[in-house]
Amino acid sequence: MKISGSRLLALDQEQCYRALQDPSVLERCMPGCRSLVQVGDDTYAMKMKMALASISGLFDGKVRIADRNFPHGFRLLVEGSGRIGFLKGDGLLQLTPENGGTSVGYEGEVRVGGTISAVGQRLLDTTSRMMIKRFFDKLTETLASPQQ
Amino acid sequence: METTVSKKTERMVGKPIRRREDPRLITGTATYVEDIELPGMHYAAVVRSPHPAANIKGIDTREAEQHPGVVAVYTGKDIDHLGAVPCAISLPDLRIPHHHLLAQDRVYYVGHPVAVVVASDRYVAADAVDLVEVEYEPTDSVSEPEEALKDGAPAVHAEWPDNVAFTHDQAGGDVEKAFAEADVIVKERIVSQRLAPSAMEPRGTVASWNSGDETLTVYSSTQIPHILRLLMAGVLGLPEHKLRVIAPEVGGGFGSKCELYPEEALTAFIAMKIGKPVKWVLTRRDEFLATIHGRGHVDYYELAARKDGTMLGLKVKIIQDVGSFHMLLTPAMPTLSVLMLPGLYRFKNVDAKVVGVFTHRMATDLYRGAGRPEATHGIERMVEVLAAELGMDPVELRKKNFVPPSDFPYDTPMGVSYDSGNYAAILEKAVETVGYSQLRQEQQESRQQGRLMGIGIATYGEICAFGPSPALPAGGWESATVKIEPSGNVTVMTGVSPHGQGTQTTFSQIAADELGVDIDSITVAHGDTSTVQHGVGTFGSRNTSVGGTALVLAIRELKEKIETYGAFLLESDDVTYAEGVCTCNKTGKTVPLAEIAPKSWFGPTFPPNTQPGLIATNYWEPPNFAFPFGAHIVVSEVDPDTGEVAIKRYLAVDDCGKVINPLLVDGQVHGGVAQGLGQALYEQVVYDDTGQLVTGEYMDYALPKAAMVPTIETDRTETPSPVNPLGVKGVGEAGTIAASPAVVNSVVDALSHLGVRHIDMPLTPEKIWKLVQQGGSA
């Protein structure tokens, strides 16, 4: 499944770039994220809970950041698996200054397998869009009150 | 509605008596595999691959093994000494990959069993499945059979990079000459999509090992207990006399339980290993993943004809989606299609080329009709395409080409011999009943009002009464034992293994008439290899035609023995047995069966050279298949705004030979039509382009609900089969075979004025709506 879109954030390009790579920010903002721990230079271990249609389950995953191009963008590679199947995502984030803030453009592909695919396929598109929206909503909220 | 109350002199055969199975089924007192509880029962749950193609880099079972309640976890290495999941078909160039009970170093489809967890509690077993860590290295997969045949497609099995599982070419007559002489050749690509058999009871097995005498008892939801015993003994390396297989109540199969599945053998293996009884029952979700799928054809048809409508010849290329492994009879399916390619038509020139293709999907195999629905859908669609091309009425075109009644037995170019039939008569009956010419007029009028009404006709022939032994891998005969108990009551033991057909009812009717006894004095037993003589099983509409014939012949043999005892007791040398009584033809003295029976067992004296007891067994081998036929007519209306198809009328006129129980025949037609209509309008198993199954529950797999199935009008003609003494042909698949072309033909007819000639199933509203919006071009 292909995913693309953009979201305007009220931060400058550099702040945005840093926030989007800050494990503590991501841990708080990613829907269902239980923990995100740096395990290598560009690699993080992630535990997340995902619910889709009538199924839900914990995912053990890996997040890797590649093709860093400060402050314009980077590539995010996500892999996870759990009792309800697996997911694999590959996305390019591009940051462009816009109206005093930064537009975060994202474009990528997500693949799922196992039970998520067998019983959740029809909800996958809307669920991913909902999760992306929640992520940016939470991010906006978090960055507005950084001390929280 | 008549009930089962009867007098001895009342004929039972032909009566619509209610099913004798139903009281236990509708009061919840039937015993399915799930209902079996044995002391110390353990439960197995299977870890399945989420990947269509991947190397297994490692399996970590430690956490699962340490989970409280878990007794053992088995992986591929634990079972690699056991036999493979069997395929019983032989074709000259058939490639059979070794199909282990559990994946070894690779997985080949989503749902492929990788490990099995055993626990003392079924929920613990299910939970512990998630604790087995399997490290996969996914590789490229191929899902669509036509993609799999292309150069450079990922190889499902590395040793066969072309993904060809088998080929099968069969020709009759001179097809090139026929095509050269033709005025018109119509061509179409016709798909029969993958379907989920959807038996109401999921698969399941209970196994119990007695280490003292080294015997294994297996209860399994199967259509073939006797063959399963033989196959399972082979897989487990156990002599078959140490194995008892019981098919308890079985809630439907439609062919999907005519197998030895890996889980059945694994359950038995585990029971032997842990020395405890083990139960394994498939969940509905896993049923979609790991029970065989039906159909899976992409066919290319070319039909040649003269401009007067005379059909001359047919060329067909069949691409059969095999999946990644063969199951028991997978390669046989398209060969059955080939046998039915000419349908009911008399042209003699046919060229069929079949290729079976490995894909990264669950295996396909027998599903209600198994190959015959695909062929019938093909020819019945092509006849319509030809009719449209020639501007002929489809009824007239069919009648012009039918095999005439005077030609039976009719040898087809595919090497089978149609036993009996009158094809024009059954179509005429259907046309008359439905008011065909009136409907055509209505269609004209409704079109003027902008409504899209269609009339769909499908005629079909099918192969039943499986079958002569040369056509089957483990014998095509069937067996029956009939025993008159000392009380005079009758126990019938049949080698078939009914699972919803109502065979206990039909066999009681047959036995009641043949023996002249009250139907309530008869019990029909089946499905236990320790108590029933060897049998073949239930598939291919063979219960009544083959098993029923064995029953009749066993009774006829038994009647001679009854007469021997009657003569002995009446001190006569000339007696006749009829209607439960032996009569001396000289004195008129009589002795009833109720008196003969105890004396046959207890004596004290017996007739000379006669064994005690009234019991006889017969094994009957049919000399040929039987070929039922019929004509179904559907009136449908398409909603141009939504693309939805409404079935306004459904008429089924079938000829299944002599009818034992019209109520059960109607039931078979109703159920069959529901499944055929399901294929035509709703159902399809979908794998996405990454090989993931996306129709994994009934939210996504559109099995028709009761409200989606129209009222079905049924009628019959009755042409006895000369193949068996009962004159029966079979009706198990009829409705399924006729319904899909009848429904599709009606919708194509509704859109024919837009230039629509063919639509592939399922006819989803989206597909139809687009056609209507785009003025007929897809």
Per-residue pLDDT of chain A (148 residues; tens, 9 = 90+): 899 999 999 989 999 999 999 999 999 999 999 999 999 989 999 999 888 877 888 889 999 999 999 999 999 999 998 888 998 999 999 999 999 899 999 999 988 899 988 888 888 888 888 999 999 999 999 888 755 4
Preceding omega of B373 cis (within 30 degrees of 0): no
Q: Under an 8 A CB cutoff, do B693 and A117 touch?
A: yes
Q: Under an 8 A CB cutoff, do A83 and B51 touch?
A: no
* Binding-site residues on chain A for chain B (CB distance < 8 A): 53, 57, 81-83, 85-86, 111-115, 117-119, 121-122
Task: Return the ∠ at Cα B129 (arms to B126 and B35), rounded to 5°.
Answer: 30
Q: Under an 8 A CB cutoff, do B50 and A86 touch?
A: yes
Give the position of tokens 């474009």: A107
How far does B110 lie from chain A, in Å, by closest CA? 7
DSSP string, B68-84: TTEEEEEEHHHHTTSPP
Q: Under an 8 A CB cutoff, do A121 and B288 touch?
A: no
Asked if residues B476 and B469 have their Cβ atoms less than 8 Å apart, the reply is: yes
Residue of A nearest to B685 (CA): A118
How far does B51 lie from chain A, in Å, by closest CA? 7
Report the residue from B129, B289, B694 with minimal CB separation from A121.
B694
Residues of chain B falling short of pLDDT 50: 1-7
Asked if residues B524 and B503 have their Cβ atoms less than 8 Å apart, the reply is: yes
How far does A113 lie from chain B, in Å, by closest CA? 6
How far does B132 lie from chain A, in Å, by closest CA? 10
pLDDT of residue B778: 58
Taking the C-alpha atoms of residue B111 and residue B177, their distance in angstroms, rounded to an integer, is 48
How far does A32 lie from chain B, in Å, by closest CA? 19
Report the residue from A53, A111, A118 with minimal CB separation from B693.
A118
End-to-end CA distance of chain A: 35
Chain B residues with CB inside 8 Å of A114's CB? 50, 110, 692
pLDDT of residue B8: 58
Chain A residues with CB inside 8 Å of B688's CB? 117, 121
Q: Under an 8 A CB cutoff, do B285 and A115 touch?
A: yes
| Region label for B275, one of left (φ > 0), alpha (ψ between -120 and 50) or beta (otherwise) | left
Taking the C-alpha atoms of residue B677 and residue B743, their distance in angstroms, rounded to an integer, is 7
Report the residue from B110, B129, B700 with minimal CB separation from A119.
B700
How far does B489 lie from chain A, in Å, by closest CA? 52
State the best of B67, B127, B131, B694 to mutate against chain A, taking most chain A CBs within 10 Å: B694
| Region label for B579, one of left (φ > 0), alpha (ψ between -120 and 50) or beta (otherwise) | left
Which among B358, B350, B290, B289 has a CA at the least distance from the CA of B330? B358
Distance of CA B130 to CAs B65, B70, B331, Å? 12, 12, 35
Report the residue from B51, B130, B289 with minimal CB separation from A83.
B130
B450 CB-contact burial (10 Å; exposed 0-12 / middle 13-18 / buried 19+): exposed
